[in-house]
Structure 1
Amino acid sequence: MELLTALYLLCFLYLTYYLYKIALQRTNQCCYMLGYECYKATEDRRLDTESCASIILRNKSLGLEEYRFLLQTIVNSGIGENTYAPDNVIQGKEERPELIDSLTEMDQIFFNTLDSLFAKSGISPQEIDILVVNVSLLSCVPSLAARVINRYKMRCDVKAFNLSGMGCSASLVAIDLVQQLFKSYKNAFAIVVSTEALGANWYCGREKSMMLSNCLFRSGGCSMLFTNNKALKHRAILKLKYMVRTHYGSNDEAYDCCIQVEDGLGYRGFRLTKKLVKAAAQSFIINLRVLGPKMLPLWEIIRYIVVSFQQRRKSKSASLDQGLMAAIPNLKTGAEHFCIHPGGKAVIDGVGKSLGLTDYDLEPARMTLHRFGNTSAGGLWYVLGYMEAKKRLKKGDRIIMISFGAGFKCNNCVWEVMKDMKDGNVWEDCIDEYPPDSLGNPFMEKYGWINDAALSFIRMEDYRSIS
């Protein structure tokens, strides 16, 4: 009798959950992606080993200890020799950047990607109803959104938004804004432009926690085209199913773990603390408590509840890693692909460990970090591009995008693939070389002598003079 009651209860829960998901999907306004274009800089801006060394040696604030720290950081970063830096950094103007340098940097990314996006989609700039531009570290007058409108002579009634300070997770913030606006504007087209202004924010001091940003952040960006017109569903490549945004800024440690400050010498930069990984993990758990029930099948939710209850009974003093495993369900039951923000090796590995992901699952994020570095808000779309270039994305597949940003924010969403995706995109000229046999770089091979104890008796000023 008890077994029969349990079966009836299970059937009732399943029916309730199924009806809830149908109602949720119907109330959500459709948001289709028609296309996206990632930016690839010219070869004269490539940061190979020699280019990195020359930029580092220009910083006269650095001593032997800082050189050793940078060498170890670069070697362990997961970044290769084919990433790109802003023009003014390549030209040696990082200490005294001008406004025109930042505007030129933005123009190159904006107009290169938008020109290609308009040409491939067949949608003209005058058809755009909503424009969202997100660049965290550059706020100018007129706005960057106005700069795009002026260049393409968009309509006077275009709804323009210029987002700043949103960090690496800004593109999903922008897409969420578009999704909300689609509830008020029918059969509309929206453009989202996501990038970062790095040239004017290159750190020129010697504080180790602020030098990390120079090792990780690189030039890049992406422009995306969306619509809520169901008549264009056949042209869509992706459909947004769920979006959950989490802001963990009320926690002081999380707020301070990734913050723009000035050091003791007055140099401005980003301080990245050891608390960042912890903040990412905690905000991730909070986010998944909301996203999980929306994307997972009922049987996985029930299994997760039972297992979590059993684990809590066994140990009330679990370590952080055990806590993560207990708090996160098996997301592979709700998604076939994992598009993780390539913010750094530690973040990628941390997410992979907590979710029980394989090397295959983490490959797109790791390869993106190696090839393009951390391109901030644009990074997710290089990861998506890798999946597409590798022909992994088939119609009906689900992709979960996982992003983190200063604040501290965790913004995640789930997409449904609307057609087989196989464009080579920005990866076209190198996709056959990935994954390489090794993600190592030649920095240690060429500059490992910096760790020689004998150098402690040599002044770095003398070395610079002969380099």
Structure 2
Amino acid sequence: MEEQKKLPNFLISVKLKYVKLGYHYLISNAMYLILIPLLGVSLAHLSTFSINDLIQLYENHKFNYVSMILCPSLIVFLATLFFMSRPRDVYLVDLACYKPPQNLSATKEAFVEGSKLTKAFTDENILFQKKILERSGLGQKTYFPPSVRFFPPNPCMDEARKEAEEVMFGAIDEVLEKTGVNAKDIGILVVNCGMFSPTPSLSAMIVNHYKLRENVLSYNLGGMGCSAGVISIDQVKHLLQVHPNSYALVVTTENITLNWYMGNNKSMLVTNCLFRMGGAAILLSNKPSDRRRAKYQLVHTVRTHKGADDKSYGCVFQEEDDTKRIGVSLSKDLMAVAGEALKTNITTLGPLVLPMSEQLLFFATLIARKIFKMKIKPYIPNFKLAFEHFCIHSGGKAVLDEIEKNLELNEWYMEPSRMTLYRFGNTSSSSLWYELTYTEAKGRIKKGDRIWQIAFGSGFKCNSAVWKALKTINPSKEKNPWIDEIHDFPVHVPKVAKLN
């Protein structure tokens, strides 16, 4: 009897699914459905003209020299104006993510044992870190710099520079090798690292090491958090609009050495448990000749900054604890702030990427709730109709769980983000690129696919980048940090209760 009662509900849900699918195709192809009948009527009407009618029409207009000259001239002028004013296309030629040597990896047990050996933490806080690790979504092979990985820890400026050089040069060497581009051909360099800003800057470190040309446009972004990678892409996009035929190199990383917290403030200890060593280098171009070999084309960037709100501004904050030790505290409001920032960001992004069918449903629901005061749930647009792949900043398991719920994504869409968190931890602004290379290694990127990168960072910021695949990626020809072990993924990450 229970099965008979459930059957009608199942049939109703199936019917609603296909009704919505039919509605989506109807709205998406409305232009064709209108134009094709009009074209048919026009052709049918034209077929009624006789040869004499056409000759008469020609005779009536053949001496109108002004029209004959002005019309083509106007068309040429408008076409020239269009091509001169349209933005330059920005291509992602290739990218590389740094994979540290195996001796820098550490298990969760090794992390806890190292924390005990430092004698900097109370027994209560060692237990607290252990619980955080168990609930973090991180695996047993994440990487630490030597200054933290080996005992005794040695967090000094010299070690921080070594970590930065190892990560940045490793990623840049690989991307230059993959693309065959000479370092001296790079005209634009943008480097972002939130927590390490030495003098000379990290960008100057790269200019010196690779002997870049004297007129290179070099920028160093600091203190902008985990969303700075998308900010760097957005900055390069604007620079490539005014510098034709240029290569731009984006280097995105974070530095662990000088930002390892050695105190006992629990809100600051969380970052020790989540952040790990990593970085990426991305080569972009606006040269039309690079389109045929580039992997992706940049479609949109949307930046959202909620820093005007005090709660948003203070939810990720670098400060001193009661003992004057510096750390980054994470507020309990972080998830709520991230949700509000995401909502604001997709409100801007949605009209740019969503099909008209989804926009109409969202608008109709908004009118019903705001004007007619109907008590119905806000309509959540189906972003799976706009994107084939999602790269969501792997800041932590709770962040990914919240976005999975809010955007109504299934495990397949969340897999690149969850596996990146599991294998590499939170690598800050570079996490999006580990996620993209995971998707490539799985052989999922097909020509024409659309990718949405979503990044969150202190400030508080939520930034998006939308890419379109220009080719089908063959994983057997790829070199990235996942290739040698991609057959081991995905792995099951058990769900655990929230920490009290």
TM-score, length basis structure 2:
0.80
**Equivalent in the alignment of 2:311:** 253
RMSD (Å), alpha carbons: 2.5
> Matched residues, percent identical?
38
Q: Residues 135-156 of structure 1: CA distance to partner in whole angstroms, max 9, x if unpaired?
A: 1111112111111111111110
**Equivalent in the alignment of 2:127:** 68
Q: Unmatched 5+ residue regions in structure 2?
A: 1-26, 36-81
Q: Residues 433-456 of structure 1: CA distance to partner in whole angstroms, max 9, x if unpaired?
A: 111244589xxxxxxxxxxxxxxx
Q: Unmatched 5+ residue regions in structure 1?
A: 1-6, 16-22, 442-467
Q: Closer, same or farther in 2 for the Cα pair 1:139/1:69, shift >3 Å?
A: same
Q: Distance in 2 between matches of 1:357 and 1:213?
A: 27
Q: Closer, same or farther in 2 for the Cα pair 1:262/1:129, shift >3 Å?
A: same
**Equivalent in the alignment of 1:137:** 195
Give aligned pairs, total: 420
Q: Distance in 1 between matches of 2:107 and 2:443?
A: 29
Task: Confirm or deny that 1:354 pairs with 2:415.
Answer: no
Q: Once the 2 structures are TM-superposed, how far is the Cα of residue 119 of structure 1 from its aligned partner?
A: 1.1
**Alignment map for 1:408-423 (pairs within 5 Å):** 408-421=460-473, 422=475, 423=478
Q: Distance in 2 between matches of 1:70 and 1:288?
A: 34
SS of the residue corresponding to residue 481 of structure 2 reads helix
**Alignment map for 1:142-291 (pairs within 5 Å):** 142-291=200-349
The residue type equivalent to 1:118 in the other structure is: L
Conservation of the 8 A alpha-carbon contact between 2:112 and 2:130: no
Q: Distance in 2 between matches of 1:282 and 1:207?
A: 27
Match for 2:147 among 79, 88, 92? 88
**RCO comparison, higher one (Cα < 8 Å, 6+):** 1
Range with bigger deviation, 178-187 or 420-429 = 420-429
Match for 1:404 among 456, 472, 496? 456
Q: Distance in 2 between matches of 1:315 and 1:362?
A: 35
Q: Residues 370-396 of structure 1: CA distance to partner in whole angstroms, max 9, x if unpaired?
A: 000000011000010110100111000
Q: Closer, same or farther in 2 for the Cα pair 1:128/1:116, shift >3 Å?
A: same
Q: Distance in 2 between matches of 1:204 and 1:58?
A: 12
Q: Closer, same or farther in 2 for the Cα pair 1:82/1:224, shift >3 Å?
A: same
Match for 1:108 among 166, 172, 192? 166
Q: Distance in 2 between matches of 1:327 and 1:92?
A: 53
**Alignment map for 1:350-389 (pairs within 5 Å):** 350-389=402-441
SS of the residue corresponding to residue 332 of structure 2 reads coil
Return structure 1 stretches of 4+ with deviation > 4 angstroms.
Answer: 23-26, 311-318, 438-441
**Alignment map for 1:321-332 (pairs within 5 Å):** 326=378, 328-332=380-384
**Alignment map for 1:18-37 (pairs within 5 Å):** 27-37=86-96
The residue type equivalent to 2:234 in the other structure is: D
Conservation of the 8 A alpha-carbon contact between 2:361 and 2:379: no
Q: Once the 2 structures are TM-superposed, how far is the Cα of residue 61 of structure 1 from its aligned partner?
A: 4.0
Q: Distance in 1 between matches of 2:296 and 2:399?
A: 26
Q: Distance in 2 between matches of 1:59 and 1:316?
A: 59
Match for 1:425 among 471, 474, 480? 480
SS of the residue corresponding to residue 239 of structure 1 reads strand
Q: Residues 201-260 of structure 1: CA distance to partner in whole angstroms, max 9, x if unpaired?
A: 001111111100011000000000000111110011010001100000011111111111
Q: Distance in 1 between matches of 2:385 and 2:352?
A: 12
Q: Distance in 1 between matches of 2:277 and 2:304?
A: 26
Conservation of the 8 A alpha-carbon contact between 2:121 and 2:262: no
Q: Closer, same or farther in 2 for the Cα pair 1:40/1:303, shift >3 Å?
A: same
Q: Residues 347-385 of structure 1: CA distance to partner in whole angstroms, max 9, x if unpaired?
A: 111111000000111011001000000000110000101
The residue type equivalent to 2:394 in the other structure is: P
Q: Once the 2 structures are TM-superposed, how far is the Cα of residue 63 of structure 1 from its aligned partner?
A: 2.6
Conservation of the 8 A alpha-carbon contact between 2:394 and 2:418: yes
**Equivalent in the alignment of 2:100:** 41
SS of the residue corresponding to residue 181 of structure 2 reads coil
Q: Distance in 1 between matches of 2:83 and 2:138?
A: 41
Q: Closer, same or farther in 2 for the Cα pair 1:327/1:150, shift >3 Å?
A: farther
SS of the residue corresponding to residue 182 of structure 1 reads helix
**Equivalent in the alignment of 1:458:** none
**Equivalent in the alignment of 2:12:** none
Q: Once the 2 structures are TM-superposed, how far is the Cα of residue 28 of structure 1 from its aligned partner?
A: 3.4
Q: Distance in 2 between matches of 1:81 and 1:125?
A: 36
Q: Once the 2 structures are TM-superposed, how far is the Cα of residue 90 of structure 1 from its aligned partner?
A: 1.3
Q: Once the 2 structures are TM-superposed, how far is the Cα of residue 93 of structure 1 from its aligned partner?
A: 4.9
Q: Distance in 1 between matches of 2:386 and 2:493?
A: 31
Q: Residues 173-194 of structure 1: CA distance to partner in whole angstroms, max 9, x if unpaired?
A: 0010100001110010000000
